A and B are shown apart, each in its own frame.
Chain A
Amino acid sequence: EAGVTQSPTHLIKTRGQQATLRCSPISGHTSVYWYQQALGLGLQFLLWYDEGEERNRGNFPPRFSGRQFPNYSSELNVNALELEDSALYLCASGGPGGETQYFGPGTRLLVL
């Protein structure tokens, strides 16, 4: 069974640009969680989507947004990129009941 996939693996942008990150959950999983992990820091919760709807949002500005598609894949958009947005962005998927979550390999975003 395929695990959680994320694309791209690496992304380089400049300040002010927009970044789009993608995630495909494990087959049968309906929840997608997004996290930001800056270098040397812990995981910070960004967004949670389930059944196509945003269920919860972390303490991030509105320029961090996303959506979940009917096939449960998800997209994270970051507008007006700032240098401090440089981080590893991790996506995790959870099955019905959402007892545990499984992570994808992440997208490394570098903002220059």
Chain B
Amino acid sequence: RKEVEQDPGPFNVPEGATVAFNCTYSNSASQSFFWYRQDCRKEPKLLMSVYSSGNEDGRFTAQLNRASQYISLLIRDSKLSDSATYLCVVRENYGQNFVFGPGTRLSVLP
């Protein structure tokens, strides 16, 4: 089983739609969780960290369920500019490296 798994995608949604990304991780000792976005042929950029209480940044909401080892990202009112690959990232603790999921590609259609 891979350490971090994500929905295989791609997701093709119309503008204004709500889209949810799912991610599961295998290491129950993981402590830090993030969502990154990567545009085509560009470097990944940090979208948001994910906290146990859940957190929101504008149209983006991230949730963490430690018991289920599951992380989610919800995008509301999707824009054309949201089209990208969304990467789930997990880290056990400071002494360990970051583990990236394979990513889920999103295309927001006009």
A residues contacting B by CB (< 8 A) are 33, 35, 41-43, 45, 48, 55-56, 58, 88, 90, 97-106
The 10 closest A-B pairs by CB, nearest first: A103-B43, A42-B102, A43-B100, A56-B97, A48-B97, A45-B97, A103-B44, A105-B43, A98-B94, A106-B43
Taking CB atoms, residues of chain B closer than 8 Å to A33 are 97-98
- For the A-B complex with A35-B100, A100-B46 known, give 4 more contacts whose Cβ atoms are closer than 8 Å: A56-B97, A97-B94, A101-B46, A102-B46
Distance in angstroms from B77 CB to nearest chain A CB is 26
A102 to B98, alpha carbons, bound, how many Å? 12
Task: Determine which residue in B34, B43, B95, B99 has the highest number of CB atoms from chain A within 10 A of its CB, and name it.
Answer: B43
Interface residues on B, range: 20 to 34
Instruction: Tell me what chain A mostly uses at the interface: helix, strand, loop, or mixed.
Output: loop
A22 to chain B, nearest CB (A): 15
Contact B43 A104 (CB under 8 A): yes
Bitwise, B74-107 to A at CB < 8 A (1) or not (0) is 0000000000000100000011111111110000
Query: A99 contacts which of B32, B42, B97, B103 (Cβ < 8 Å)?
Result: B32
